[in-house]
Structure 1
């Protein structure tokens, strides 16, 4: 742990420095850099795990729920491997939009796509033959059924997509980064068909900012200072489980919250419906929450211990209220 990480002021200034470099275009944007930072095999396996999560928790373990569906992926990052796998599983179309234009390596991505394609069975390869172009050293993807658009934030003032166009909307570790979650949520609901559904994995953790002080210290920073530190690339919008419960109940007929993380621990696998004392958390975890509670902003200090313990969810919602 460095001296900077132990100091709220120095840690905040250090992060702000990176934001200034980003604004001045002296540093590239690192959003969505998954495949770029991994060897081909690891990036390929990561895409497979992401899709397996969507099938297990979003589709209730039934991949046929994807058949013939128009899917919108929010925040695909630096490659379209997840979209390719969704098409292989039967999705009719996949549209990918990202609020940023991440750095990517076309040659590296080409090898990822080829590895994904080669790992498909014959029926799956047939389903994506129109969007995959094989080359001697890899593969490229694209076409009418696989669309990607960058610098298109879902939380833009106007909905960036046509209303009632998608059956399923998905994201992984994206919604916590939206500058305006409520607007982004509204725009997603607008472009979802009435019987559609959304599958979102959301990470409420501190993303390493102030983490050496306390995992929830970032919830003590006043809003005006937080907005300064985290703009234009919000480390987190800081909205947590109660906000998602509210939005889900308001706009959808059904919702399910799988719990994926608790404070200070690795992922709960498989994800669970409820936290069990002594199994998922101990008195030590409660003591961590209660130690920081007096310093939390009012928006967070009223949360229950469990809502502060939970630092990640996989949210599924179905049936748009009309």
Structure 2
């Protein structure tokens, strides 16, 4: 896939333009988006992402189109997990709903910048060191294990990182609109709004470590990696308000993401074996017998995993609500 500098410049410029439009059209004036507004813009951005993928398939071949769709699905699924953490942070800091859009917008921009840096670094490493696939694969397998079995219920708003920040910054515990700092008694303090942004920025860094190796396991094209990430992040703000209540019902989301990360981790290790150059592994010779997982299978596997995790979560949540409703009805009858 040969992408010229001009195409890169245009793509980055259009991406920036979308976020500028988002700010002036929706975020600049504090308000809580309606369900209809969130649904319309979420559908617009998802439709735009799908249309872009078709464009890649038509112009560059469906091999690259398949890589884009597999990467987009993976990044979108990870973004939903990201939204869940954002929701926990917002709740922990008790951010007023009319200001949550601004926090989300800043968090998404930080995420895009961090991922852009990781994409550039990842592309340089892949171009010069084929053994990096072993490291990416091992990292994803570790992240998959952590995603599936680590049950950390700590609130990011009161975690160790935020306690460290609070010790080193003068903090005023009251919000002052959407301002980041405030002057009281001649001294400048940071507001909880700034702490929220710091917490979300830290979470963005952690998620970038997850997402970039994952998508490089599906494609080595930096352009596809960037555009899949950009489209996954576009509309994330609207998706937050659209499915905020649904997130608590996606009880198997973590397990579904763990399966996807583990699958891509295995795919990366197999690819590393196929292009092996490390002298202490197989004498530095490629292991051509190692199977290469085709992109069509990756796309189907990722889509099926997301579907199964979502359906199973909704069935589980519905069953739990039905049981709870039955228990409440029995309690009322006993009381009566």
**TM > 0.5:** no
Choose between structure 1 and 2: higher strand proportion. 1
TM-score by length of 2: 0.21
Larger RCO (alpha carbons 8 Å, 6+ apart): 2
Choose between structure 1 and 2: higher helix proportion. 2
TM-score by length of 1: 0.22
Higher-Rg structure is 2
